[in-house]
């Protein structure tokens, strides 16, 4: 069974640009969550999507947004990039709920110059 797939693996952008990251969950999983991982803050929750709707949201500014498609694939968008957005962005999927086991992809490493 294929795991969670994230693309691209690496991205380099400059301040002010925007970026879109993609996540394909494990087949049959309908809940997709996004996390930001940095050395200083560790793993922090961004948001969760289920049935094409944002169900839960963390404490990130509105520049961070996402969406989910009917096949459960999800995208995350960050607009007006700042230097502090440099991080590893991780996607996790679970069957139906965030209380079930969440399985992570290998992430997208975003570097802002």
Q: What φ, ψ does residue 41 adopt, rounded to 5°?
A: -105, -10
What is the pattern of x (binds another protein, CB under 8 A) and - over residues 2-21? --x-x---------------
- Alpha-carbon Rg for the chain, nearest whole angstrom, is 13
Q: From the centroid of its chain, how far is CA 109? A: 11
Residue number, 17 or 51, with CB nearest to another protein: 51
Binding-site member from 17, 56, 71, 77 for another protein (CB under 8 A): 56
Asked whether position 93 contacts another protein by CB under 8 A, the answer is no
Binding-site member from 58, 60, 65, 79 for another protein (CB under 8 A): 58
Q: At closest approach, how far in Å is the CB of 42 from another protein?
A: 5
The answer to whether the peptide bond before residue 61 is cis (omega within 30 degrees of 0) is no
Beta bridge mates, 48? 33, 56
């Amino acid at each position: 069974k294929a795991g969670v797939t994230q693309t691209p693996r690496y991205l380099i952008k400059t301040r002010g640009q925007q970026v879109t990251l993609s996540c394909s969950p494990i087949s049959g999983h309908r809940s997709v969550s996004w996390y930001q991982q940095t050395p200083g803050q560790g793993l922090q929750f961004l948001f969760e999507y289920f049935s094409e709707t944002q169900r839960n949201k963390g404490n990130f500014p509105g520049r961070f947004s996402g969406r989910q498609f009917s096949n459960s694939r999800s995208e995350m968008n960050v607009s007006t990039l700042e230097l502090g957005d440099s991080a590893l962005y991780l996607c996790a999927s679970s069957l139906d709920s965030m209380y079930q086991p969440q399985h992570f992809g290998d992430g997208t490493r975003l570097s802002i110059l």
